Copies of this chain bind each other. A is one copy, B any other.
Amino acid sequence: MSGIIVNGGSLPNIPWEDRPSSGTGSDPKKDIMWRYSKNPVIPRDLTLRSNSIFNSAVVPFKNEFAGVFRCDDTARHMDIHAGRSKDGINWKIDDEPVKFIKNNPELPDSDYKYDPRVIWIEDRYYIIWCNGYNGPCLGMAYTNDFENFYQMENPMMPYNRNGALFPRKIETNGVRNYAMYSRPSDSGHTPFGDIWYSESPDFIYWGKHRHVMSPNGGWQSTKVGAGPCPIETTEGWLLFYHGVLTSCNGFVYSFSAALMDLDKPWKVIARPRPYIINPREIYELAGDVPNVTFPVASLVDKDTGKVAVYYGCADTVTGLVFGNISEIVDWVKKNKI
């Protein structure tokens, strides 16, 4: 059997709906993942001053759920807010953004923060986001309680976005390093973008940068970027990733999933030609940025293989889709380029 989840725990309370009996098209089976019936799961104005809540990350936390949320306020300032939920569906998000604790005064400032990912590694939760420090680059922090967040060194220089940390160290020739995917970019609405892999012994210094994958036509012809932190399976790292197509009227963000080598995660085992989710619901087609479906977090239940992916919709609200890890792994291999 394929696609057994390796690194992850039981999550019996994962938010969930079974696959609907009819798909969106001619064949009920054609949708490998399906939308939550009450999408958007998080509305745009859940907090006091929010203009939009999207591209947000959640994790299991003390038998419930916690997360860090991109909330643009009504000044359209971008920041990260913490939130909690009993069921992963109904969220209470703080009205005030996270105030990161800076133990070293030389740590860089941050003009804005967006698109956070969160993951448990070893002994704490690590947050990684796109940080405004003389241009978009990656910012990092850790927390144990989603109340106190400790700022770390920026891992990379500008211009870089879409950092996704691995849940465990990667060992090469006896060296065990932390690892991440990220996407070098430019200072604006970058019209190109590849996924890269980097390692670090200590989260401070990074190196051994390897190119992972480039745009490849169709829905992923302009740029690609890592979504949620990769999921370890028996078949390889399963990476949800977004791709962008440029129409005459702008970018279209869809997403799919790829399988990466367990030991050398910069090597692609299988990458599909089709997307899994693309903008087709009205809350994905219209909003602050039309035509965006952008995954940033996943919850998985090791026992059942269930996966729930949170994704930003039209840069305005947060959506939720469901699937099964082993079905997705099979589909990726079957549809590989």
Contact = CB atoms under 8 A, between A and B. Distances in A.
Q: Which of A50, A154, A184, A252 has the most chain B CB atoms inside 10 A of its CB?
A: A184
A155 interface: yes
A206 B200 CA distance: 9
A217 B75 contact: yes
A160 interface: yes
Contacts of A185: 186
B290 A286 contact: yes
A290 B219 CA distance: 16
Interface stretch (A7-15, A272-280, A303-311): A272-280
Interface in A221-255: 221, 245-252, 254
Given A157-B198, A217-B77, A291-B288, A26 B51 contact: no
Contacts of A280: 44
A3 to B, nearest CB: 20
Interface stretch (A60-68, A116-124, A207-215, A321-329): A207-215
A108 B247 contact: no
A196 interface: yes
Contacts of A172: 106
A83 interface: no
A156 interface: yes
A208 B202 CA distance: 12
A48 to B, nearest CB: 6
A98 interface: no
Consensus secondary structure, chain A interface: loop
Nearest to A177: B205
Contact of A189 (B190, B248, B254, B290): B248
Instruction: Please list the 7 inter-chain residue pairs (A to B) with the smallest Cβ-Cβ separation, ordered nearest first.
Output: A25-B45, A205-B205, A249-B250, A76-B218, A186-B186, A189-B248, A74-B274
A87 B316 CA distance: 36
A293 interface: no
A280 to B, nearest CB: 7
Given A252-B288, A286-B285, A290-B290, A48 B27 contact: yes
A245 to B, nearest CB: 6
B153 A208 contact: yes
Nearest to A23: B45
Interface string A181-206: 01011110110101010111100111
Nearest to A51: B278
Contact of A209 (B157, B286, B315): B157
Given A206-B205, A210-B108, A249-B289, A47 B26 contact: yes
Nearest to A185: B186
Contacts of A74: 219, 274-275, 278
Nearest to A214: B134
Contacts of A282: 282, 286
A133 interface: yes
A44 B160 CA distance: 36
A135 interface: yes
B157 A156 contact: yes
A189 B247 contact: yes
A188 B291 CA distance: 20
A86 interface: no
